[in-house]
Amino acid sequence: DPGAYEFTPAPCTGAFDLTADSLYPGGAILSWQSFGAVNEWQIEWDTCGFVPGSGIGNLDSVVTNNTSYSLAMPMGQCFCVFVREKCPTGGYGVWTGPLNICVPIEYDAQLVSLVSPEYFDCGDSLMEVKVEIRNNGFFPITSLPITVVITGDINQTFTTTYTGNLQETEVDTITMGVINAYWGGYINVVSSVSLVNDQFTGNDTLSVDSLAILPFQPRVLSNQYCPNDDSATLRLMPFPNILFNWFDAPVGGNIVHVGDELTVSTITPPTYYVAFNDLMDSLQSTAVGNTQTSNGGSMFDLVIFNTLSVTGFSLVGASTGLTDVQVYYKLGSLQGHQTNPASWILHETVPSVNLQGSSTFVRFNLTNPIPMIAGQTYGVYIQPVTGNLMYASGDPLGSSLGSNSDLEILAGITKAGSWTSSLSPRSFRGRVHYGSESCSDIRTPVTPVLNSDTVVADFTWTTVSHTVNFANTSVNADSVVWDFAGLGSATGDSVSFQFPQTDSFEVCMIAYNSCGSDTICQMVWAENISVVEFEIQSRLSVYPNPNSGRFVIDYQMELAGDIRIDIVDLSGKLIMRDDVRGVQGMFQKQYDFGHIANGSYMIRLHSPDGIVTRRVVITK
């Protein structure tokens, strides 16, 4: 080209095309370019935010390879990298960068989420338990132990080992097994992975507490009443924002009550039939028009006349395709808070809402419904992460866009992609869904039942040294409380207590059930014995025990000789003495004390082996 000039850039005017060509655990392979005869560079790197050349970063002072330079950096962290040229005429050029690099870790498995069950799933006798795992490491995962522990109203543990080929950044959903969740309930779920050589364990475990699973049909918690009760309270397992209808017939009939519990008279109480109260309803905005938002959301007010729970929304898209949708709300009107994000609560981000364009309402449900109280106004802001929504203009701010007996929609604003924007007034186009949706229409019969199970307190005890072991043998007891002669207390069916010295002590136990309590006190004997003495004690058997006064004594003699058997009460009074001559090996004899009073007695057996004691309880 005549008259054209060819310019050759001067060297040391700044490196360019700084690129991380590949990453590996512990570093990256870098390349860049320079003009002219530059053959030496410096690289500085550190946590993003530092200023290169200030002496803070990590400096590679002599670098002679700009096509495949291996830069070593710690695994599992992100850094900013800068490069500058060493000028052929002396000095250094300007820094080029930053290049943001996240250095991969070698081995890291993540338990991403509990896929199933989800909050407010309907009960199922074969409900699948699923988790999502992810490989955050550089090397593939081919063997990964996974554990899921479920406690609460359902108790079950699942273990399995993933044996696929999970590459870096890949995820997979693993089915652990099934639980019988037909009757629903509240559960706690702890899921974990255990990768060999895992270099970051902070993401190995995921806990979900108080996860509510709805019963497939209403679940009865209590329908019993006690003797002399004038009324019975019938209770169902409650769930937030879920109501139940109580009918007077298994089919058809009349609704006599709505709620989780019902108190009725015990005089010829009838059977009730309980079903989910299906109050699912919606209110559609009356706004019309074809104007669209500019990558923004729609903000409007809801005036609540009857307490309800908002369960979801239907949107009209100005675009098509999948988008996550953020749902914000606040107590009180949006007015005065249109551009202040601090006034709003991000309630939930709903994933993968599939907008279908301006002619189709697309519904999405909230994982956790938003409770709204009668007499209050709530601001709502629906923001698609990508894509556009339809709105209408012309309705004044705060004007009604539709109402029914439960709520009213008021005109608000829209936004153009940021909190600071406010296009006003603008009207929401869509529907508000509220209420509760039933899992089934099955009616569960609930009949008040008289609880005639009288609680009777009782316990047994055995002595080992000064420690006495107690076992609850009460009848119809839901719980027990122990008192150890004022020296201590405990709860539970099997407990132990160490007394301070060899002596007899009065131990009392109170047994409870829903209709009352019963108390029993017994004198127990605490005796300090050695291991050898304990072995001798174990050779003595008294059975049956407790008994009606007739029992058998067995004793295995180690040394031949005479035996003396004393039976005394707990005050030490001698009730009977039996001397037996020339015993060798097994001694066995039946005794009949049907004539003595009920209570606890001590058997003391004297033999060449030593003295053995045992308690016997007589009850007739």
Fold entry, domain 459-525:
Immunoglobulin-like (2.60.40)
Tell me whether strands 479-484 and 185-193 are parallel, antiparallel or unpaired.
unpaired
Q: Token pair for residue 280?
A: 């699912």
pLDDT value of position 7: 46
Sign of the torsion angle spanned by Cα atoms 332, 334, 337, 340: positive
Classify residue 610 as left (phi > 0), alpha (psi -120 to 50) or beta: left
pLDDT value of position 4: 46
| pLDDT over threshold 60, residue 457 | yes
Domain range 532-618, CATH architecture: Sandwich (2.60)
Q: Which of 160-164, 561-565, 613-617 reaches the highest mean pLDDT? A: 160-164
- What residue has token string 């098509």? 320
Percent above pLDDT 90 for the chain? 57
- What residue has token string 């201590």? 488
Q: Which of 299, 388, 378 is nearest to 333 (CA)?
A: 378
CATH topology of 109-213 equal to that of 532-618? Answer: yes
- What residue has token string 């060899």? 502
- For the beta carbon of residue 367, count every other beta carbon within 10 angstroms: 13
Percent above pLDDT 70 for the chain? 95
What's the CATH superfamily of 15-103?
Immunoglobulins (2.60.40.10)
| 61 burial type by CB count under 10 A (0-12 exposed, 13-18 middle, 19+ buried) | exposed
> What's the rounded Cα separation, in Å, for the pair 211 and 348?
16
Q: Which tens digits make up the pLDDT trace of 260-281?
A: 999 999 998 899 999 988 656 7
Residues in the chain: 620
Q: Is 375 helix (H, G, I), strand (E, B) or coil?
A: coil
Q: Is 49 helix (H, G, I), strand (E, B) or coil?
A: coil
Q: Token pair for residue 332?
A: 């009180």
Q: Which tens digits make up the pLDDT trace of 285-336?
A: 887 655 565 567 899 999 999 878 898 998 888 888 889 999 999 999 999 9
**Residue 508: partners with Cβ closer than 8 Å, 6 or more residues away:** 482, 483, 519, 520, 521, 522
Q: Torsion angle of alpha carbons 63, 65, 68, 69, nearest 10°? A: -10
> What's the rounded Cα separation, in Å, for the pair 171 and 173?
7
Q: Determine which of 179-183, 236-240, 359-363, 411-415 has the lowest per-residue pLDDT on average.
A: 359-363
pLDDT value of position 174: 96
Reported confidence tier of residue 436, pLDDT bands at 50, 70, 90: low
Q: Does domain 109-213 have CATH number 2.60.40.10?
A: yes
pLDDT value of position 280: 64
Q: Determine which of 87-101, 411-425, 481-495 has the lowest per-residue pLDDT on average.
A: 411-425
Domain ranges of the chain: 15-103, 109-213, 220-276, 281-435, 459-525, 532-618
pLDDT, average across residues 455-483: 89
Q: Which tens digits make up the pLDDT trace of 500-536?
A: 987 778 889 999 998 989 988 877 877 765 556 666 7
Query: DSSP per residue over 265-294, as a string?
Result: ESSSPPPEEEEE----EEEE------EE-S
- What residue has token string 């006599």? 256
> What's the rounded Cα separation, in Å, for the pair 423 and 382?
14
pLDDT, average across residues 344-368: 86
> What's the rounded Cα separation, in Å, for the pair 149 and 189?
6
Tell me whether strands 121-122 and 205-214 are parallel, antiparallel or unpaired.
parallel
Q: Token pair for residue 1?
A: 């080209």
Distances in Å between the Cα of 56 and the Cα atoms of 48, 112, 238 are 11, 36, 59
pLDDT, average across residues 42-55: 95
Q: Which tens digits make up the pLDDT trace of 571-619?
A: 778 999 999 999 999 999 999 998 899 888 888 899 988 888 888 888 8
Q: Which tens digits make up the pLDDT trace of 128-153?
A: 999 999 999 999 999 999 999 999 99
Q: Token pair for residue 196?
A: 């060999």
- For the beta carbon of residue 18, count every other beta carbon within 10 angstroms: 18
Query: DSSP per residue over 512-525, as a string?
Result: EETTEEEEEEEEEE
- For the beta carbon of residue 255, count every other beta carbon within 10 angstroms: 11
Q: Measure CA 579 to chain center.
A: 66
pLDDT value of position 482: 96
Q: Which of 210, 411, 390, 167 is nearest to 297 (CA)?
A: 390
Reported confidence tier of residue 20, pLDDT bands at 50, 70, 90: very high
pLDDT, average across residues 343-371: 86
| CATH classification for the domain delimited by 281-435, as one of 1.10.3720.10, 2.60.120.820, 3.30.300.30, 3.90.1150.10 | 2.60.120.820
pLDDT value of position 422: 87
Higher pLDDT, 176 or 119: 176
Q: Which tens digits make up the pLDDT trace of 123-132?
A: 999 999 999 9
pLDDT value of position 531: 55
